[in-house]
Amino acid sequence: MEKVTEPSLDAALVWFRRDLRAEDHAALFHALKAARKVYCGFILDREILDALPRADRRVEFIRDCLVALDTRLQALAPGARLLVRHGLATQELPRLAHELHVQAVYANHDDEPASLARDGRVRGALADLGIALHTGKDHVVFERSELLTGSGKAYSVFTPYKNAWLRKLEPFYVSAYPVERYAHRLAPPAEDVAADIPSLAGIGFEPTNLHELHQGTGEAGARALLDDFLPRIERYGEARDFPAVKGPSYLSMHLRFGTVSIRTLAREAAQRMHHGSAGAAVWLSELVWRDFYHQVLHHHPRVVGASFKPEYDAIKWEHGKHAQALFEAWCEGRTGYPLVDAAMAQINQTGYMHNRLRMVTASFLTKDLGIDWRWGERWFAEKLNDYDLAANNGGWQWAASTGCDAQPYFRIFNPVSQSEKFDAAGKFIRRYLPALAGLSDQAIHAPWLARPIELAEAGVRLGDSYPLPVVMHDEARVRTLERYAVVKG
């Protein structure tokens, strides 16, 4: 039984960021234990928002999650509210803390370099007001330097990291923080403290097709997806590779914005794995990859903009108008390779891309088109609903062979064989490329190889209704091996 101690503070503020839930929330729990009155706040940070397109699913998702969190806080304690401000976090957060007369602010770690710099500025501004900033782990199971090699260094190879992760995992690390036990300390703000959540239009954004994607929002949306996934988890190991099959959990957006606790997911996966579920073991491994990339970012922040393996920065990528034309064809799904184009249509239309297709499209951009991986990383950063710097950077560097524990440079995905293996019946391709729907299951993977009569019967005019390939894979492969020769040693 946990020992209950008297709070040492009169009032504290919890600064919500990428953790938009009340359940099993580390910073909220620590604040509730430490203070007699606890307020909750969120800053719609213009430093981030002003750089985004005016129709952005993530902003709409966040705004809906703020409404859900506000409702949840009111259910936990009558009168409690989520206090939302729109402006620069470095100014608005200290202003809100001062307005509420708190002695301390509690927040969960965010290890992205820009976020650490922001937190440093906020810490200084709060200190000037005599207010402390306390931050701690919440977003991952093991963070920063909790897992190190025998020589005290960060891991750069996944398998030994995973083995160490699994050895260290004990129930303590995935136990939930009992927020409800102390929820009576959530305090209503004074009447002169504004508590209305601004509308989407009020912060300068437009509605998107978010609600057509069946992602759900808030803790309830995350729980619904988890409840839908758990009966399917045993098949996850096989089903996850096929984009036309309902294989993934689809929780990545919720995990990114913290509407579900990583401890909840890891606990579910570990318990099922220990009871013999092979699918749960594979899913847990994916959660370990997520921790792995976060510790890589923490120990090697230079990966933001540079190769983890410095020698790979010597690669000479395609450049000039030719490279720009190839990149635009990739972005717009006009490469002439149906699986690649369907995947790009998926991300452009929905903000989601199946994990297998993230690897296929990244490999195609870097190793078929010879385009710098950073171009693709930026495109995904703009488009992905679940964009997470650590995972996105890690995934792109894996595909480009520039990262730690990456795909060997001489292993190059063949987009046609990937299509034939993972979308054999062309179901996914037909969903996103209706112009090719009339082709046979055999021809749909490489239309340029189909007989003219079949193309005519399917209404496909290469170079018109569907593009010819922008490169030929076999020729591109040779060029890639030559390009990567600079790192052979």
Based on the residue annotation, tell me whether 289 is a catalytic residue of this protein.
yes
**pLDDT tens digits along 10-58:** 999 999 999 999 999 999 999 999 999 999 999 999 999 999 999 999 9
Asked if the model's pLDDT at residue 1 lies above 50, the reply is no
Q: Using one digit for the tens of pLDDT, what is the confidence trace for 201-244? A: 999 999 999 999 988 999 999 999 999 999 999 999 999 999 99
The dihedrals phi and psi of 51, each to the nearest 5 degrees, come to -90, 0
Asked if pLDDT for residue 411 goes beyond 80, the answer is yes
Alpha-helical segments (H) within 77-112: 89-100
Among 165, 379, 396, 398, which one carries the catalytic annotation? 396
Assessment of whether the complete model's pTM goes beyond 0.85: yes
The answer to whether residue 342 scores a pLDDT higher than 80 is yes
369 — pLDDT class (breaks 50, 70, 90): very high
Residues 119-158: pLDDT tens digits?
A: 999 999 999 999 999 999 999 999 999 999 999 999 999 9
The pLDDT assigned to 177 comes to 98
Is 317 one of the annotated active-site residues of the chain?
yes
273 pLDDT above the threshold of 70 = yes
CB neighbours (10 Å) of residue 319? 11
Catalytic pick among 47, 143, 146, 355:
355
Concerning whether 396 is annotated as a catalytic residue, the answer is yes
Question: Looking at 47, 143, 180, 317, which residue is catalytic?
Answer: 317
Of the candidates 424, 301, 415, the residue with the CA atom closest to the CA atom of residue 369: 415
Check 47, 286, 318, 420 and give the catalytic one.
286
Angstrom distance (rounded) from CA 238 to CA 247: 8
Question: What domains can you pick out in the chain, each with its CATH number?
Answer: 9-139 (3.40.50.620), 140-177+212-299 (1.25.40.80), 310-487 (1.10.579.10)
Q: Average pLDDT, whole number, for the chain? A: 97
Q: Check 15, 373, 375, 379 and give the catalytic one.
A: 373
Residue 373 annotated as catalytic: yes
> Widest CA span of the chain, in angstroms?
82
Helices (H), 310-372: 320-331, 338-350, 355-363
283 catalytic, yes or no? no
Mean pLDDT of 407-430: 95
